[in-house]
Amino acid sequence: MKIIDVTKELFSTQPYPGDPSPKMALERTIEKNGYNLTVFSACAHNSTHIDAPCHFIPDGDSITEINIEKCLGKCVIVSDFDSALDKAKNGNSKIILKGFNLTFLQAKELAQYLSLIGTDLLSFGNESETKAVHQILLERKIVLLENLELTNVPCGEYFLVALPLKMKNSDGSPVRAILISNE
């Protein structure tokens, strides 16, 4: 068994354009206080994260209302839309896209098969279709896992663990995402 961390580091990862950058400071120190205490602030969508339906859907579920079972299980990484659709049609409900984005029509076609979709890009959909792509997926309560680090990860089947923080009423959450391979 091999464990692969596919999480981008929170403080060094470029945020989505317009989103605030995360910040971290040492509030207490061993030298002064006898212990270290770190304080940080971050957007729920910094680095590797999950989007909750309420990110784009009025009255949509928050991050604590998503079905957490959707955030772990067998997944497949693919590098083109045709492979994604083929894998989804053949029973793979968790698909991770490597190196490409979805159009609205592609998202609509895939949505009927998925419980989770991931990407190594900052967000789903190109600039003009971002909102529409998110809405079509989130309306169906598909978990959106964004900004994965897949540079050295080959396409194939894995077991995914990408659990969100328990943040009531949040529209997203950072995650520590790992893939487990049987190799």
Tell me, yes or no, whether 147 lies in a domain. Answer: yes
Q: How many domains does the chain have?
A: 1
Q: What is the CATH number of the domain that holds 166?
A: 3.50.30.50
Cβ proximity of 50 and 173 under 8 Å: yes
Tell me, yes or no, whether 171 lies in a domain. Answer: yes
Residue 145 and residue 77: Cα distance in Å, rounded? 13
Q: What is the pTM of this model?
A: 0.96
Tell me, yes or no, whether 58 lies in a domain. Answer: yes
Tell me, yes or no, whether 166 lies in a domain. Answer: yes
Tell me, yes or no, whether 22 lies in a domain. Answer: no
Tell me, yes or no, whether 26 lies in a domain. Answer: no
- Write out the two tokens for 92: 């793979």
Tell me, yes or no, whether 33 lies in a domain. Answer: no
Written as tens digits, the pLDDT of the chain (183 aa) is: 999 999 999 999 999 999 999 999 999 999 999 999 999 999 999 999 999 999 999 999 999 999 999 999 999 999 999 999 999 999 999 999 999 999 999 999 999 999 999 999 999 998 899 999 999 999 999 999 999 999 999 999 999 999 999 999 999 999 999 999 987
Tell me, yes or no, whether 27 lies in a domain. Answer: no
Domain hosting 74: range is 2-15+44-181
